[in-house]
Amino acid sequence: MVSIISQTILNLTEKRHLEYNASLLSICFMIFLGFSDDILDLRWRYKLILPTIASIPLLIAYSGSTSILIPKFLSNLFGFHVINLGILFKIYMSLLAVFCTNAINIYAGINGLEVGQSIIIGVSIFLYNIIEISLGNVEQNIFSLAIILPFIMTSFGLFLFNKFPSECFIGDTFCYFAGMTFACAGILGHFSKTLLLFFIPQILNFLISLPQVTF
On average, the pLDDT of the chain sits at: 82
Which phi and psi angles does 68 have, rounded to 5°? -130, 150
pLDDT class of 152 with cuts at 50, 70, 90: very high
Query: Do the Cβ atoms of 60 and 150 come closer than 8 Å?
Result: no
User: Given this model, what pLDDT does residue 73 score?
Assistant: 66
Most confident of 56-65, 147-156, 170-179, 201-210: 147-156
User: Given this model, what pLDDT does residue 214 score?
Assistant: 59
Query: Do the Cβ atoms of 83 and 67 come closer than 8 Å?
Result: yes
Mark out the alpha helices in 83-199 (DSSP H runs): 87-106, 113-134, 139-162, 171-188, 192-195
Angle between helices 171-188 and 139-162 (to 10 degrees): 160
Judge whether residue 42 has pLDDT over 60: yes
**Average pLDDT over every residue of 153-161:** 90
User: Given this model, what pLDDT does residue 69 score?
Assistant: 75
User: Given this model, what pLDDT does residue 2 score?
Assistant: 53
Question: Which range is least confidently modeled, 11-15, 76-80, 144-148, 183-187?
Answer: 11-15
Judge whether residue 129 has pLDDT over 90: yes
Q: Would you state the torsion angle of the CA atoms of residues 9, 158, 21, 120, taken in this order, to the nearest 10 degrees?
A: 60
DSSP annotation of 79 reads: S
Query: Do the Cβ atoms of 90 and 58 come closer than 8 Å?
Result: no
Through-space distance between the first and last CA atoms of the chain, rounded to whole angstroms:
49
- pLDDT tens per residue, range 131-149: 998 888 877 888 888 899 9
Q: Would you state the torsion angle of the CA atoms of residues 109, 150, 56, 11, taken in this order, to the nearest 10 degrees?
A: -170
User: Given this model, what pLDDT does residue 80 score?
Assistant: 66
Which phi and psi angles does 157 have, rounded to 5°? -65, -40
**Average pLDDT over every residue of 164-192:** 87
pLDDT class of 128 with cuts at 50, 70, 90: very high
Report the phi/psi class of residue 85: left, alpha or beta, with left for phi > 0 and alpha for psi in -120 to 50. alpha
pLDDT class of 79 with cuts at 50, 70, 90: low
The Cα–Cα gap between 32 and 198 comes to 25
